[in-house]
Amino acid sequence: MRSLARPPRPPKPLPSLAAFVQSMGYVEVKMRWKKDASFDAVPVLAHARDLRPLASLARLLSPSPTPVSAVSKLRRSLETSDRRVASFLRRFPAVFVESVGPEHNHPWFRLSASAARLQREERDVFAARRADITSRLRRLILMSPARRLPLTVAQGMLWHLGIPEDYFKLPDFDIGQDGFRILTTGDAVFSEDENHGKELGLIDDGKDQEMPLSVLQMGAIRRFGSAEEVPFPLFPSKGLRLKRKIGDWMEGFQKLPYISPYEDFSNIHRGSDVSEKRAVGVLHELFSLFVTCSAERRRLLCLRTHLGLSQKFHLVFERHPHIFYLLLKEKTCFVVLKEAYMAGGHTSIEEHPMLEVRSKYARLMQESQEIIRRRRSGKPVQLDPEDQESEDSKGVNSAAIPS
């Protein structure tokens, strides 16, 4: 009679000692997200979701009335949170002043006097601090091993770096004077996209310049006198407690060698803790270049391959809550570099020249909320004298329209 018992399986070969050593340092870090109300109280972070489309629409409109049809078809490219551009414009009466058009009673919009002054201030700041602001784009390119970035990727980073979004399109900017050049590949001939197949590089390819020190290295020199040991500044959130195993892992993580974002990393094993520390260092340096030291998480995916990050690099934000904070706002997730907001004066992160302008935009957005609340409650609204005239004329035109 044939036996129904299965023959014993041969034993699996043991992994090599090298593979065991490379993986033994990994600790599965799973921490619950902890809300920190202090970040919600920062206007430039609280209004981050609508700040970019608002600033883009402010550039498209002018102090003179413009029909809404001129911008109504740009909702997808602007990524406004409202389904209609007109609804988005009406949410911010301190920035956009609505009036009735000369024909068919169509809505027209123009910039408020405060927004027009802010537009001029933004242009003046970029003109006065151009070298400082564009140097951040140069550092971003130097972080790429190829010393160049696809033009579409570089275009998407202009807002975060505080550079005008038409910087590559208008010849008046003359990007060559800032040390940049646009390279064209053979793929550009077969595409309708004007940026496809084009790359942004440096005129000197970064060869004539010594690699810059990262913000963390400058901080280590300021604190310890040298950059031999470069720890990450940690800022625990209130009420966030770590297990002993995770705490011991973080203590060992700080002692690992630091790899600068501008150094060669080809000899680092991707699955090691050293590779993870390099990824944290790259993202720390990246956020320190941005205006608000924050960005929407999905906006960073286009940089993954160009900065040598792993496919699941976004898990770094969850594994290091003492360095990064995840701000969940209006169905989106923004990553905030904690050091920029919690270190006070004990940081080497330089405040971006355009931060004050962005903060003024956020304050206009807060004023808009107050204006809408007062209008709904029937209370008087105090506007800029120039905008008050437009508001009065709008009321007269509305009264003349038969119901």
- Three-state SS string across the chain, please? CCCCCCCCCCCCCCCCHHHHHHHCCCCCCCCCCCCCHHHHCCHHHHCHHHHHHHHHHHHHCCCCCEEHHHCHHHHHHHCCCCCCHHHHHHCCCCCEEEEECCCCCCEEEEECHHHHHHHHHHHHHHHHCHHHHHHHHHHHHHCCCCCEEEHHHHHHHHHHHCCCCCCCCCHHHCHHHHCEEEEECHHHHHCCCCCCCEEEEECCCCCCCCCCCCHHHHHHHHHHCCCCCCCCCCCCCCCCCCCHHHHHHHHHHHHCCCCCCCCCCCCCCCCCHHHHHHHHHHHHHHHHHCCCCEEEHHHHHHHCHHHCCCCCCCHHHHHCCCCEEEEEECCEEEEEECHHHHCCCCCCCCCCCCHHHHHHHHHHHHHHHHHHHHHHCCCCCCCCHHHHHHHHHHHHHHHHCCC
Q: Residue 277: pLDDT above 50?
A: yes
User: What backbone phi and psi angles, to 5 degrees, belong to 201?
Assistant: -130, 180
Q: Residue 23: pLDDT above 70?
A: no
Choose from 121-130, 176-185, 383-392 the range with maximum mean pLDDT. 121-130
Query: Pairing mode, if any, of strands 180-184 and 198-202?
Result: antiparallel
Q: Residue 260: pLDDT above 80?
A: yes
Q: CB of 292 within 8 A of CB of 132?
A: no
Quote the tokens at residue 53. 């489309």
Question: At a CB cut-off of 8 Å and minimum separation 6, what does 203 contact?
Answer: 176, 179, 180, 181
DSSP character for 164?
-
Q: Residue 16: pLDDT above 50?
A: no
| Mean pLDDT of the region 369-395 | 74
Quote the tokens at residue 254. 């700080």
Q: CB of 372 within 8 A of CB of 93?
A: yes
Question: What is the model's pLDDT at position 1?
Answer: 44
Quote the tokens at residue 209. 């310049």
The half-sphere exposure of 40 on its side-chain side, counting CA atoms within 13 A, is: 7
Q: What is the band of 300 on the pLDDT scale with cuts at 50, 70, 90?
A: very high
DSSP character for 221?
H
Per the DSSP assignment, residues forming a β-bridge with 199 are 150, 183
Q: Residue 130: pLDDT above 80?
A: yes
Q: What is the band of 104 on the pLDDT scale with cuts at 50, 70, 90?
A: confident
| Mean pLDDT of the region 106-113 | 93
Q: What is the band of 238 on the pLDDT scale with cuts at 50, 70, 90?
A: confident
Give the tens place of pLDDT for each residue, 302-340.
999 999 999 889 989 998 999 999 999 878 999 999 999
Whole-angstrom Cα distance, residue 80 to residue 78? Answer: 6
Every domain of the chain and the residues it spans: 30-39+117-358, 47-115+359-375
Whole-angstrom Cα distance, residue 71 to residue 68? Answer: 6
pTM across the whole model: 0.86
CATH topology of domain 47-115+359-375: Arc Repressor Mutant, subunit A (1.10.10)
Q: Residue 402: pLDDT above 60?
A: no
Question: What is the model's pLDDT at position 77?
Answer: 84
Return the higher-pLDDT residue of 187 and 62. Answer: 62
Give the tens place of pLDDT for each residue, 341-380.
999 888 999 999 999 999 999 999 999 999 999 999 888 8
Return the higher-pLDDT residue of 396 and 127. Answer: 127
Question: What is the model's pLDDT at position 168?
Answer: 95
Q: Residue 7: pLDDT above 90?
A: no
| Mean pLDDT of the region 223-245 | 84
Quote the tokens at residue 326. 């995840």
Return the higher-pLDDT residue of 210 and 21. Answer: 210
Q: Residue 122: pLDDT above 50?
A: yes
